[in-house]
Structure 1
Amino acid sequence: MEGACTAARLVDWLRGELQTGYSDVEEVARSLVKVAETAWLKQVSAWILYGKLPAFGAEDFFVQREGGEYVCVTHLLPSFVTPSTASSMLFIGRSLNQIRTKSLLLLAGHHGAGGRRTGKQHHLSTQLSRLSKLSHPLDSATFARAITDIRNFLSRTILQRLLPLSRVLEALELLRDFFLLRRGEFAMALTQQADEKMRSRWQRVENLAGAAGGGGNSSVGSVVVKEGEIAAVLVKTWAAMGSMQGEHAEEDEGVELAREMLRLVLTKSQQQQTVLLPRPMTPGDGGGHATLVTTPFRNLLFSVPVTLTFEIPSPLDLFLSQADLRVYEGINAYLLSLRRAHLRLTDLWKITGLRRHHPAPPGGGGSKEKVKLLRRRYAVREGVLRSAWATASAAIFFLGETEGYLQMEVVAGLSDGFGRWLARGEDDEHRQESSSLGQHKGVGIRHNGDDNDDGDDDDLWLDSTPSRISTNTSSTPTLKDKQAKEEEKRRRQEERHPRDPQTLATAHRLYLRALVRRLLLDGPRHQPFTDALYALLVHIDHLVALVHRLHGVWAAADLEADVGVVDAFVDLDREERDVQGEMRAVEGRVKRGVEGLVGLLRGLVEHENANDDEIEQLHLGEVGIAERDWGGGDAAGGQQQEEEFSMREIGQYVPRRVGGVDRLLMKLDFGSWFGAGDGAGGGSDEDMLL
C-alpha cells in the first residue's frame, strides 16, 4: 500500500503541479485539480450528509470500517485536510450513520412544519449549497470552516436532542463513582464479597482433598471461579451496599443505574491486553497511539482476569467509545487493587486473638501455673508477630499515602475541573491565575459564570451622572426586554462554549489522557513502576494469607494443649516453623518492594515537567493551534502559559495541573527502616513502626 496510487496522493500531486512557471501547464493542472477535488467532495458528501460510505471507490476512501467501528485512515486524506477537520468528518458521518440505522431522522425535523421531510430537506439543501460554494483548489481553512458549520448545524438540529448534556453528565457520574471509586463503599463491598467467595472455594477444595485422602490436581482445579459466580458476587455487592445505606437505599438513583448497567465479567487472557489511549488529534493512526500499561492488575481480585464493564447504550456511544471504556476498565483495576490490598491489611487488626490477650487471674489452686503458661505463650507469639505487624503497618502507610495522592489530588482534581468545564464552560480553579496573566498582558478578562455581568453593555461612568440616573428611573425595563437580554446572554454563552457531542468527546479524551498520565499508568514510561507495584501487592496478599494461616495453626495448637483435641494428620510444630520462615521471607520482599517503589518514584520526578508539556502540546494540536517546540527557558514557559490562557478564554478545555510525584514523596518518609536489615527485626522494629 506504501507505493500504491490513491485518490489523496493524486490530488496532492495535481495541487503540487500548480506551482509552475508555465501558464498553460498551470491551467491544465487547475482544471484537473477541480475535477479531482469535485470527485473527492462527492465521496465526502455521501458520508457527511447521509452517513454512508461511497458506493464507488470505498476502498480508497479515508473512512474505513474495522471491527464494527468506523475509523479514519490518515494516509488516505489529502494534505489540505487537517487532523481536526478529519475528526469532525468522521464524527459527522458516524453520527448520521447511527441515526439512519436506528430510524431516528425524525428528530431532525422535530420543529419543522413538515415533520421529518422538512427537517431532512432543510439539512441537505443548506449543507449541499455550502459545499457547492467552495472554490478550487480547496483551501484548508475554508474547508475546515465548512465542515465545522455542518457539524454545528447537525449538533443543533439533531444531536443535542438525541444526546442532551444531562445524559452525558449522568454517564460521567456513573464512571466517576464506580470506575474511579468515588464511592468507597462499592470498593469495600466488592472486595469483601470477592474474598468471601474465594475463601468458600478454597474451603470446598480442602474438604474435597480430605475426602479423597490427600487431594490431587482435580480438587485444586475446582478452585477456578466461574462466570456465574462472579456475576453473583456483584449482586451480593449491591445488596451489601444497600445494607450499608439502610433505609435510604431505595433513594439512591446512582446505585440503581449502576445495578442495571455495570457487569463483572471474566476475560480470556491472564495477561493484560494492550489498551490504546484514544487520540483526539489524529484518529485512526494506530502507529502513534499511546498505550496503557500492561500490568495485569485485573488478576488480583479473584486470581483470574476479571473486569468491571458495561455495554455502552445508544446514543451515548456518540460521546463514549469502546477505547474510552477500556481505559476506564484499566484505571478501575489499578485503583481497586490498591484499595483491596489496603483493606486486607487493615482487616488483620480485626483478628483479636492475634492482637490482644487477657488471661484470667488465678482464682484457686493450680490455676496460677496455667495463667503463667498462657502469658508465656502469648509473649512468645507477640514476639513472633512483632515484625509482621511492623511490616504491615509500613505497607499500610505506603498504600494509604499513595491512595490519598491518586484519589484526592489526581482523580478528584481532574474530575472536578472537567465537571466545572462541562457545567459552566470554564474551570473556576484557574480563574485567578488567568486574571493575573491577563492583567500582566493588559487584557481585560470576563467570565461568563459571574453573577454580576448583566450590565456589561452599559457605561459605568454615564450611569453615575444625574441626567442618566433620572432617565433610567423613568424608563424601567419591561419583562420582554429582560427576557430578550437573557436570551441574548444565553446565546452568547453557547457560542463561546459549544456543547456539541464532538466537542465534549474531544475534551473527555483529553481528560482521560491527562488522568492516565497523572495516575502513572501510561506505558512504557511508567511500566517499571506498575510492575513493581503489582509484585508488592502480590507479596502483601501472601503476607496476609500467612498471618491467617499462622492464626489457624495457633488455634489448633491451643485446642490440642488445653482441651486435648488432636489432629493426627497434622504436625503443628513443623507447620508453625514453616509458616514463620515463610513470613520472614515475605516480610523482606514487602520491605524491598516498598523501597524499590519509592526509588522509582524519585526517578519519575525529573520527568514530570516534560510530561506536562506533552499534555499541553497534545491539546494545542487538537484545537487547531500549531504545535510549538516548548523547549527549556522562561520564554518558552511564558509562551506556553499565554497559549493556555488563550485556549481557556475561547472556551477550550485545559486539564488542571494537579498532583506531582514530589508531593507524594514528601509524605513517604520511612525514617531508617530502609537502612535496617531484612531479617526479623530485633532493634530495627521500632524504626519499622514509625
Structure 2
Amino acid sequence: MLHEILLSLSGHPSPLLSSPTTTSTTAPSPLAPPERALLASLARLSELHIHLLAATAHIATSHPSVICRAVAAAIDDIHLAAFRRKVLQVERTILCHDAALVGAYQIVPLTAVVAEFEGWARRLEWLAGVVRSMGAGKEGGGCCCTGAAVVDLLRGELQTGYRDVEAAAGSLVAVAEAAWLKQVAAWVLYGRVPSFGEGDFFVRRETGEGGDGGGGEEYACESGLLPSFITPSTAASMLFIGRSLNQIRAKSVGDYSLRGNDHLSTQLTRLAELQHPIDSATFSRTITDIRHFLSRTTLQRLLPLHRVLEILQLLRDFFLLGRGEFAMALTQQADERIRGRWRRAENLAYEKRNGLGNVTVKEGEVAAVFARTWAAMGSMQSEHAEEDEGVELARDLLRLTMAKPGAATPTTPVAPEGGLTAIAATPFRNLLFSVPVVLTLQIPSPFDLFLSQLDLQTYTAINSYLLSLRRAHLRLTDLWKITPLRRHHPAPPTAPYGGTRGGREKVRLLRQRHTARSNVLRNAWAAASAAIFFLGEVEGYLQTEVVAGLSDGFHLWLTTGDDEQRHGDASKKTGLRTPEGNPSPPKPNNTTYDADGDIWLAEGGPGSASSSTQHAPQQQTQTHPHDPQSLATAHRLYLRTLVHRLLLSHPSFTDPLYELLVQIDHLVALVHRLQAVWAAADLETDVGVVDAFVDLEKEERDVREEIRGVEGRVKRGIEGLVGELRRLEGSGDLVRGKAGEGGEGDGGEEWDGVVVVRESGEYVPRRVGGVDRLLMKLDFGSWFGRGRGELGGEEDHGEF
C-alpha cells in the first residue's frame, strides 16, 4: 500500500487514493474509513500534482504568451520537480529502514508519511491558482491571460504571510520578468518586435502613410500589455528607443555614417544586472541611460539641433502666423475664389436654376488657392536678392486640404498627472472657405521622432483659430477701401456747366445723397470700428503676449538648456552670464523684480555680469543638447501651455467668438451688397440703366434692415466676450498651470493646484499672458452705456 501511495503522489492515478464516488460500489475498499480520512490530504496532493502536470504541459506548448509559457515551464521544472524529489526522498527513507519513518517490526506509520508532506498542500494549491489564472478565458471563449497580467499577479503574491508561498512567488517572478526583459531587450537594443508572442508585446505595429521612415510602418504603445511597475514616461522612452532604431535602420541604407549601431548590444548587461523583482525606479533609470547612450552616439547625427530649430521656426511662422504676409495672402486668395464662384453662380442663375450648386468649393480649388498664395508671397519677396529658405521648405511640406467630416478634436496629452487638455470643438476651420479646411504638414523623417500627429493636429487647430481672427480683422479693414462709400463730397462740375443753376442743383443732389447714405451706414461704421478695435487688441494679446513669449522661451531652452525667466532670476542676484557667454537678456514685461534687487548689477557695475566672464566657458561646456524624447516631452508641454493661454481650451469663450466672427462676415457681406445696390441705383438714376429683374428700393430696405440687426448682434457679441474674459480672469481659470510656482531652484510647477517638482534643466513654460492686461485695453468705459443718439447722430440710428 505504501508503494501505491508513493506512486500516486508521483503523478500516476491510483484507485487507492481516489474518492469513493469514483470507485466501484461493489468492489471492497482496501482502506478502512479511519485510514481513508488520514490519507485524504495525500489524495488531495495527488490530484493537484496530476492536474498541474497536465495544465502546465498544455500551457507551455500552446499558450500565445511567451511569459505564460515560461512560468508554466518553471512551475513544472522547479516546484513540481521539487515535490517529486520529496516523494523519492520519502521512498528512499523507507527502503533504507530509516528510523525517522520505519519503526519496530518494520512498521511504517501512515501518520509519519502524511507528516512528511505537511506544507506542500498550501504551495500546490497556490500553484493551481496561478495556473488557473494563466488559462482563464480560454474555456469561455475570451482572451487568454497576458504576460503583463501574470507578472502583476505574481508580484502581488509576494505580499503574503506564508514564507513558502513568498519564495515560490519570488522564483516565478524572476522567470516571468526575465522572459519579459528578453522581449524588451529585442526592442530597445535592436528595434525589433518579437517574432513569437508579438500579440502579447506592448508595442503594436501599425501600417502608416509613410511617416515613420520604416517602410511605411508606425508603432504604438498599448498600455494594457505593460506590467504595472512600468511608468508612462518609461513606456514612452521604450517606444521612442525602438522607433529611433527603426529610423536608423531605414536611414542606414543610404547613409553609411549611421551604420554600425551594434554597439547598443553593450547595454544588454545593464538589463541583465537588474534584480528581481524589478524596481520601478531602477528600471526607469536603466531605460533612461540606454536612451541617453543612443542619443549621444547616433541620434545627434540623425537629428541635429539646427534641423530641429528649422522645423520649429516653420511651425511658428506658418501655423502660428509669425509671418503676417502668409495669413494676408491666404485670406485674400480665398476671398477672391469665393467671390468668383458667387459671380459665376449669379450669371448661371438666369439660365440654370441649379446655379447655386456651383458655389461648393472642391478640393482642387483649395489646392489652387494655396498655390496662388505661394505665388503672392513670392511677389512680395521678389525685391530681396536672396531666396527665403523658410518659404521654400514650407512650400514643400505644407498642404491646405479639406478636413474629413469625422475628424476628432485633438487633445494635448502633456499634463504631469497624465491628464488631457481638450481643445474646444468650435469649428473655426469653416470660416476660410465656408467648408472645413485645415493647414497640415507632411512630417518628414526624422522629425517624427519628436513631432507626432497629435502635435500636428494641435497646431492645425491653433492655426484655424488664429487665422479666423486675422481674416475677420482684414475683411473689416478692407471696408475702408470701398471708395464710393468713404469718398469726400463730390466737387462741382467743371465750367461752364458748373456755374449754371442745373450744375449747382446736381452738386446739391449728389451731396444730399451722400449725406443720407453716410447717415445710413453711420452705425455700421461704428460697429465695424468697435469690432476692429476688439479684434486688434485680442490678436495683439495672443500674438505678442502668448505666442511670442512662449515661443521665445522654448527656443531659448533649446539653445541654452534653461528658460529666460529662471536664468534671469539667478543672474540678477549672482551676476552670472548665460551659457552662451552673453549677459542675461532682459526680463519680459510680465516679470517683476524683487524689492531688494540691485539695478547696478544689471547695469554692469562692480560685481555684475562683466566680472564673471571667466565662468561662461565652463557653463557652456556643461550645456548638453537635448535628446529627442526630452525634446518631444517639452514640445508637448509647450503646446499644452500654448493652447491653455490662447483660451482655445475654453468653449465658453471660443463659441461666442465664433458667433461674433460669423456676424462680422455677415456685416461685411451686407455692406458690400448695399454698395452694389447703391451703385445700380446711381446707374438707373444718373445714366438710365434699368434692371427690370431687380426692385432696388425693396432690396435696399431689406439690406438696411438686416444691417441694423447685425449691428446689434455684433455689439452684443463684443459685450458678451468681454464679460466672459472678466469671468475667466475673476474665476482664476487662467491662473492654473503656472510655471515656476515652486521656487527658483527646485523647478517647482503648479498644475491645477498640484505642485510638481521638476528636474534641473527640464523645460518649464514661461508665465506669459494676463487677461487683466487685455481687459484694461478692452475697457470701453461707458461706451456701451451711453444714451441713444450720442454716437449714432440720429435717434433712429443710436444703437452704438
Deviation readout 1:140-161 (Å, 9 max, x if unpaired): 2211111011101111122111
Q: 1:289 to 1:237 in 2, by over 3 A?
A: same
The amino acid across from 1:298 in the alignment is: R
SS in structure 2 at match of 1:251: coil
Matched residue, 1:559: 683
Match of 2:410 in 1: 275
1:499 aligned residue: 626
Structure 1 position 311 matched with structure 2 position 448: no
| C-alpha deviation, 1:42, in angstroms | 1.0
Which structure has the highest helix share of the two? 1
Q: Which residue in 2 is equivalent to 1:653?
A: 763
Q: Is 2:373 the counterpart of 1:252?
A: no
Q: Is the 8 A contact 1:309 1:329 kept in 2?
A: yes
- Matched position secondary structure for 1:613: coil
Superposition pairs of residues 236-635 of structure 1, within 5 angstroms: 236-248=372-384, 250-269=386-405, 273-279=408-414, 288-361=419-492, 362-434=498-570, 448-450=579-581, 491-494=621-624, 498-522=625-649, 526-608=650-732, 611-613=735-737, 631=753
Q: % of aligned pairs identical?
A: 65
- Equivalences for 1:101-112 in 2 at 5 Å? 101-104=250-253
Whichever residue aligns with residue 248 of structure 2, its letter is: I
Distance 2:748 2:254 in 1: 37
Relative to structure 1, the CA distance from residue 604 to residue 321 in structure 2 (aligned partners, 3 Å threshold; closer, same or farther) is: same
Provide the C-alpha distance between the structure 2 equivalents of 1:31 and 1:55, rounded to a whole number of angstroms: 26
Is the alpha carbon distance of 1:205 and 1:261 closer, same or farther for their aligned partners in structure 2, counting shifts above 3 Å? Answer: same
Could you report, residue by residue, the CA deviation over 1:293-330 in whole angstroms, capped at 9, with x for unpaired residues? 11111111111111111211111111211111111111
Aligned residues of 1:598 and 1:668 also touching (Cα < 8 A): yes
Q: Provide closer, same or farther for how the CA distance between residues 488 and 413 of structure 1 changes in structure 2, counting only shifts above 3 A.
A: closer
Q: Deviations over 1:442-482 (max 9, x none)?
A: xx9885344599xxxxxxxxxxxxxxxxxxxxxxxxxxxx9
Aligned to 2:194: 54
Q: 1-side partners of 2:798 and 2:783: how far apart?
A: 6
- Contact kept, 8 Å, 1:37 with 1:136, in 2: the verdict is yes
Separation in 2 of the partners of 1:628 and 1:490?
30
Q: Provide the rounded CA distance (Å) in 2 between the counterparts of 1:625 and 1:389.
A: 51
CA distance in 2, matches of 1:428, 1:590: 40
The gaps in structure 2 that reach 5 residues or longer are 1-136, 209-217, 493-497, 585-613
**Can you list the C-alpha shifts for 1:83-135, whole angstroms capped at 9, x where unaligned?**
2211111111111123334545966x75xxxxx4xx333221x1111111111
- 1-side partners of 2:682 and 2:751: how far apart? 71
Q: What is the SS of the residue equivalent to 1:134?
A: coil
Would you say the 8 A contact 1:387–1:685 is kept in 2? Answer: no
| 1:43-122 matched pairs, under 5 angstroms | 43-65=183-205, 68=208, 69-104=218-253, 116=259, 119-122=260-263
Question: More displaced, 360-369 or 549-558?
Answer: 360-369
Give a deviation string over 1:484-509, Cα, whole Å, max 9, x none: x9997655322xxx411111111111
Give the Cα separation in 2 of the matches to 1:370 and 1:308. 53
Distance 1:40 1:281 in 2: 28
Cα distance, 1:255 vs. partner?
Answer: 1.1
Cα 1:520–1:249 shift into 2, 3 Å: farther
Residues 418, 685 of structure 1: CA spacing in aligned structure 2 closer, same or farther, 3 A cutoff? farther
**1:175 partner letter:** L
Q: Equivalent residue for 2:95?
A: none
1:276/1:289 contact within 8 Å kept? yes
8 Å contact 1:87–1:281 — kept in the other structure?
Answer: no
String of CA shifts for 1:220-272, please: whole Å, max 9, x gaps.
01111222221111121112112222321652111111112111111232x76
> Which residue of 2 is the match for residue 466 of structure 1?
none
In structure 1, what is the equivalent of residue 299 of structure 2? 159
1:182-201 to structure 2, matched below 5 A, reads 182-201=322-341
Contact 1:84–1:281 under 8 Å retained in 2: no
Unaligned runs of 5+ in 1: 111-115, 454-481
Are the counterparts in 1 of residues 792 and 798 from structure 2 also a CA contact under 8 Å?
no
CA 1:360–1:451 in structure 2 vs 1: closer, same or farther (change >3 Å)? closer
Instruction: Report the alpha carbon displacement of residue 563 of structure 1 after superposing the two structures with TM.
Output: 1.1
Distance in 1 (CA, whole Å) between partners of 2:798 and 2:578 is: 53
Any idea what SS the aligned residue of 1:246 has?
A: coil
Bigger Rg, structure 1 or 2: 2
Change (3 A) 1:571 1:670: same
**Change beyond 3 A, Cα 1:653–1:330:** same
Aligned AA (2:718): V
Aligned residue identity for 1:519: L
Equivalent residue for 1:174, pick from 314, 320, 324: 314
Instruction: Determine if the alignment matches structure 1 residue 668 to structure 2 residue 778.
Output: yes
Superposition deviation, residue 613 in structure 1: 3.4
* Whole-Å separation in 2 of the counterparts to 1:191 and 1:280: 35
Query: For residues 60 and 149 of structure 1, what CA distance do their matches in structure 2 show?
Result: 26
The CA deviation string for residues 166-185 of structure 1, in whole angstroms up to 9 with x for no partner, is: 11100001000011001101
- Judged with a 3 Å threshold, the aligned counterparts in structure 2 of structure 1 residues 325 and 435 are, in CA distance, closer, same or farther, namely same
1:390 and 1:688 in contact (8 A); partners too: no
Q: Which has the higher contact order (CA 8 A, sep 6+)?
A: 1
Hey, what's the Cα distance between the residues in 2 that align with 1:678 and 1:452? 57
CA RMSD of aligned residues (A): 3.2
CA contact (8 A) 2:177 2:276 kept: yes
Secondary structure (helix, strand or coil) at the match of 2:401 reads strand
| Structure 1 residue 610 displacement after superposition | 6.6
Q: How many residues align?
A: 614
Residue type matched to 1:96 in 2? L
Alpha-carbon distance in structure 2 between the residues aligned to 1:61 and 1:625: 36
State the shift of 1:406 in Å.
Answer: 0.3
Deviates more, 1:22-31 or 1:226-235: 22-31
Partner SS state of residue 671, structure 1: coil
| Residues 609 and 521 (structure 1), Cα distance of their counterparts in 2 relative to 1, 3 Å cut | closer
- 8 Å CA contact 1:591–1:678 kept in 2: the answer is no
CA-CA distance at 1:614 after TM superposition: 7.2
* Structure 1 residue 513 displacement after superposition: 0.5
8 Å Cα contact 2:186/2:194 also seen in 1: yes
Deviation digits for residues 538-577 of structure 1 (CA, Å, limit 9, x no counterpart): 1100100000010011111111111111111111111110
Note closer, same or farther for the CA distance 1:683–1:603 as it changes in structure 2 (3 Å cut).
farther
Q: Aligned residue for 2:495?
A: none
Cα gap change, 1:452/1:581 in structure 2, threshold over 3 Å: closer, same or farther? Answer: closer
Answer whether contact 2:267 2:290 (CA < 8 A) is retained: yes
Secondary structure of the residue aligned to 1:167 is helix
Taking the aligned partners of 1:352 and 1:501, their CA distance within structure 2 comes to: 55
| TM-score normalised to structure 1 length | 0.82
- Distance, in Å, in 1 between the alignment partners of 2:314 and 2:751 is 38
Per the alignment, do residues 446 and 397 of structure 1 end up closer, same or farther by CA in structure 2, a change over 3 Å counting?
closer
| 1:222 partner SS | helix
SS in 2 for 1:659: coil
Provide the rounded CA distance (Å) in 1 between the counterparts of 2:659 and 2:179: 58
Retained in 2: the 8 A contact 1:63–1:73? Answer: yes
